[in-house]
Amino acid sequence: MQNPESPNPLESGAVEPPACPARRRRRARAGTWLAAFGAAVIAGSGLFAAGFTLGRQTALTDGTPQALAADLQPFWDAFDSIDQRFAGIQVSRHAIVEGAISGMFKALGDPFSSYMTGEAYRASLTGLSGQFEGIGAVITTEDAAGKQGCTPAGASCRIAILRVLAGSPAEQAGLRAADVIVSVDGSSVAGKTTDDVVNLVRGPRGTVVTLAIARAGTTFDVRITRAIINPTDVTSRLIDGGALGYIQISSFGSGVADDFTSQLRTLLEARVHGVVLDLRGDLGGFVDQARTIASQFVGSGPIYWEQTADGTRAPYDAEPGGIATNPSLPVIVLMDRDTASASEILAAALQDTGRGRLLGTTTYGKGTVQEWQLLGQDTGGFRLTIARWLTPAGRWINGRGLTPNVTFQAPANAPIDSDPALDRAVQLLTSPGAGGPGAGGPSALRSTGGPFLSASSSAASTVTISLAPGSGALL
């Protein structure tokens, strides 16, 4: 097992949860560990992570640290004043609780940690867990320079369409990648997060949603009829006359590892000389899916390391039974700036172990893990950063991204139906010394344009999620 250099441990302000006063009972936690990286993903125990009921604070239960009791007293003083003396328009205690929880997460200043209403919480997970009702487009946030992850939408942060799912209502209505959403049903998206926009756009199949779209200096309305969307997360085909296999992952949803392994096995049975793994535009998802997929190529050792807030580090080793661990089968990974989170875990595992070469541009750079937790009393849920993930060699790529082994930027004037990066990958795999046909590999080839295989993600229970912030939200 490798012993990576130890980066500085996570800074942590975590404390023991305060005990509730006699008239407040805490509800048991029902957290679901996820990771969205990345996302996105978040957890741990923090103040009120288990939820609480409200009432006038008169005393703290025995055993509460005095320092914590003193820190919390201003909160309870403020709450008591609002609860008993506020003379404005009546606000429910439920709304006050949600506002207080939301404020705690905003105070963290972490784009990966946030509070969500119950509806937003469920919608955020649905796209990673199977079918949903919507229009079939993926959105992101980006600033004027095109950098993703800003929030909320406003003058310097826009809601842009990252890609449109094939055959979806969004595609049929004419939406395109890079379109900017200005409003939904007449309501401006200014001040809203991607989660907010998801809630506005999704809805029952057969109903209509109207988007104001900005494109090439003009703004126009697009009416779209919602439908049931079944995301296709894994696609594959034979390329280069059947000599090579191409397999793309668009999202690490639940069940993706099974789909990927099945399609990879089909390519291997066709006796391919090499594999192109396309992770471009993949903003992450369930971390356990990334680990299982990496284990198809890496036979032993850590796929990644996880370091918690107290500095404790644990390896997540390769799972046994990988079907493509033979190093004589070369692998090229295509990546770009939108390759993030769980995608980076997979790419880094292949790069650090020498099992694959990375081709493209520097990736997004998200090196944290989150947990999602649903709170009680219909107060929504949250995602909270609970760990860093490190590459097999102990690198923390947060904010820096992965540097490709082969840097490649497609020409700006490349034909729209071409893929220069894929062409370059094919060139590398078929050159002498690559382990492909140029190196005397097997000669049993399939015809060009072999069967295009695809499979939709199926629902499954998972452990962690890692998603890039403000990115990869499915409408």
Mean local confidence (pLDDT), 174-183: 94
Confidence of residue 126 (pLDDT cuts 50, 70, 90): low
pLDDT above 70: percentage of residues in the chain = 77
Pairing, β 357-360 against β 331-335: parallel
Query: What pLDDT score does 135 carry?
Result: 95
Q: How far is residue 151 from each of residues 5, 109, 319, measured CA to CA in Å?
A: 33, 11, 37
Nearest to 153 by CA among 110, 198, 99: 198
Q: Are 263 and 236 in contact (CB under 8 A)?
A: yes
Confidence of residue 3 (pLDDT cuts 50, 70, 90): very low
Query: What pLDDT score does 465 carry?
Result: 57
Q: What is the pLDDT of residues 401-447, one digit of tens each?
A: 999 999 999 888 888 788 999 999 999 999 876 544 333 332 222 22
Query: What pLDDT score does 437 carry?
Result: 38
Query: Higher-confidence residue: 131 or 140?
Result: 140
Q: Are 141 and 85 in contact (CB under 8 A)?
A: no
Domains and CATH numbers, the chain: 131-229 (2.30.42.10), 232-463 (3.90.226.10)
Mean local confidence (pLDDT), 352-361: 97
Query: What pLDDT score does 14 carry?
Result: 34
Query: What pLDDT score does 196 carry?
Result: 87
Confidence of residue 306 (pLDDT cuts 50, 70, 90): very high
The angle that helices 287-294 and 256-269 make with each other, rounded to 10 degrees, is 20
> Which pTM value belongs to this model?
0.72
pLDDT > 90? residue 1? no
Nearest to 290 by CA among 313, 274, 306: 306
Range with the largest mean pLDDT of 26-40, 58-72, 145-159, 297-311: 297-311
